[in-house]
Amino acid sequence: MAKRTAPRSGSMQVWPRKRARRPYARVRSWNRAEKGLLGFAGYKAGMTHVMAVDTGKNSPTKGETIAVPVTVLECPPLRIYSVRAYTEDAYGKHVKTEIVVGTDKFLARKLQTKKTRAEQLKELKPEEYADITIIVATQPSKTGIGKKKPELFEIALGGSNEEKLAWITEHVGKDIPVTEVFKEGDYLDTHAVTKGKGFQGPVKRFGIGFKSHKSEKGRRNPGSLGGWSGQQHFMYRIAHAGQTGYHLRTQYNNQILKVGEDPKEVNPAGGFLRYGEVKNPFVLVRGSVQGPKKRLVTLVKAVRPKEQRSLPTVELISTRSQQ
């Protein structure tokens, strides 16, 4: 049993600890108070630091230049692949209509592309549906990571159905830049699949302590398998070996320090280690972001925003070589 002085090893919040179904996220919660596109996506290039003036009202370093760690996310523009219209009943929302409005040669690597029917958007009657969303496609071919097959995922829109349809009609067949969704100082949630570490033992997987060197059945094994009554064999909550990493995780309330369009501002000498050079607009997110380099990170407007911290004034972005 866990005690106040020694809480259990490993969180029960996320269970089961198994591999994610795909290497990028599926988002189900959105901040509907906003209007327009409620999310975006970018490829994790790596980390660096910026020198910024601390503008926090109560900060002990107010007015001083401090070093702030940041994650660089390369954000090539998105394109709309299809539009989904939902109806709702007592069992939830169901896709009633899906209209394909845009394809390209790279999408054929991902799925059997259908003929575009953008003209059918005019026939949609917004009042007949509970929600309207879009399926967007990334454009990794515009980056330097050596990938062409795009990712497809669903993004919600804010506002009334009429406003959503007007926004979609305006952006069909066009590139959607990250600057249209986020600006400096905004708070966002990051959804991504963490680094995979394979099959690991309970010491690394859950952080349990070593047993005595005199223990008979392994120092790195759990000391107790729990009660045996009514659980068939042993409690599923006991720390055992298994899959570690490659889990879908969400990180809330990350602050954007900069949204830039000139890659030269962030590219270190020789490029980012194990990534290369950024070639598209980028986002600098304060602190770290889950997942390895080159992984797609889905960015969503904060669903439970907290009191906003003052935005530091960025003076310098470190471009020192990482080689």
Asked if residue 242 is part of any domain, the answer here is yes
Strand partners, 39: 300
pLDDT over 70, % of the chain: 98
Asked if residue 2 is part of any domain, the answer here is no
Asked if residue 228 is part of any domain, the answer here is no
* pLDDT at residue 113 is higher than 60: yes
Question: Residues 306, 168: one domain?
Answer: no
pLDDT over 90, % of the chain: 77
CA max distance for the chain = 76
- Give the count of beta carbons closer than 10 Å to the beta carbon of residue 127: 7
DSSP string, 220-277: TS-S-----SSSSSS-TTS---EEEE--EEEEEEEEEEEEES-GGGTPPTT-BTTTB-
* pLDDT at residue 97 is higher than 70: yes
Give the model's pLDDT for residue 231. 60
Q: What's the whole-model pTM score?
A: 0.93
Asked if residue 215 is part of any domain, the answer here is no
Question: Residues 204, 91: one domain?
Answer: no
Strand partners, 68: 50
**For residue 315, what pLDDT band results from cuts at 50, 70 and 90?**
very high
Asked if residue 4 is part of any domain, the answer here is no
Question: Residues 70, 82: one domain?
Answer: no
Question: Residues 92, 70: one domain?
Answer: no
Question: Residues 200, 67: one domain?
Answer: yes
Check which CATH number belongs to the domain holding 58 and give it: 2.40.30.10
What is the average per-residue pLDDT within 129-146?
Answer: 96
Asked if residue 231 is part of any domain, the answer here is no
Question: Residues 90, 168: one domain?
Answer: yes
Range of the domain at 189: 16-33+42-75+179-209+236-323
* pLDDT at residue 80 is higher than 80: yes
The b/e string for 38-69 (b: 16+ C-beta within 10 A; e otherwise) is bbbbbbbbbbbebebebeeeeeeeeeeeeebe
Question: Residues 280, 184: one domain?
Answer: yes
**For residue 10, what pLDDT band results from cuts at 50, 70 and 90?**
confident
What is the average per-residue pLDDT within 18-34?
Answer: 94
What's the chain's average pLDDT? 92
* pLDDT at residue 264 is higher than 90: yes
Query: Which residues have C-beta within 8 Å of that of residue 32, sequence separation ≥ 6?
Result: 38, 156, 158
Asked if residue 224 is part of any domain, the answer here is no
Question: Residues 264, 160: one domain?
Answer: no
Looking at 130, 161, 176, which one is the last position of a domain? 176
Question: Residues 266, 303: one domain?
Answer: yes
Question: Residues 284, 153: one domain?
Answer: no
Q: What sections of the chain are H helices per DSSP?
A: 161-171, 202-206
Q: Which of 158-172, 199-213, 218-232, 249-263 has the lowest mean pLDDT?
A: 218-232
What is the average per-residue pLDDT within 12-38?
Answer: 93
For tokens 């602190």, what's the residue? Answer: 287
Helix (H) or strand (E) holding 212: none
Strands (E), the chain: 36-37, 39-53, 65-74, 79-89, 92-100, 131-137, 152-155, 157-158, 187-193, 196-200, 242-245, 248-260, 282-286, 296-301, 313-317
Asked if residue 220 is part of any domain, the answer here is no
**For residue 108, what pLDDT band results from cuts at 50, 70 and 90?**
confident
Tally of domains within the chain: 2
Phi, psi of 132 (to 5 degrees): -130, 125
Question: Residues 68, 118: one domain?
Answer: no
Question: Residues 301, 251: one domain?
Answer: yes
Give the model's pLDDT for residue 232. 67
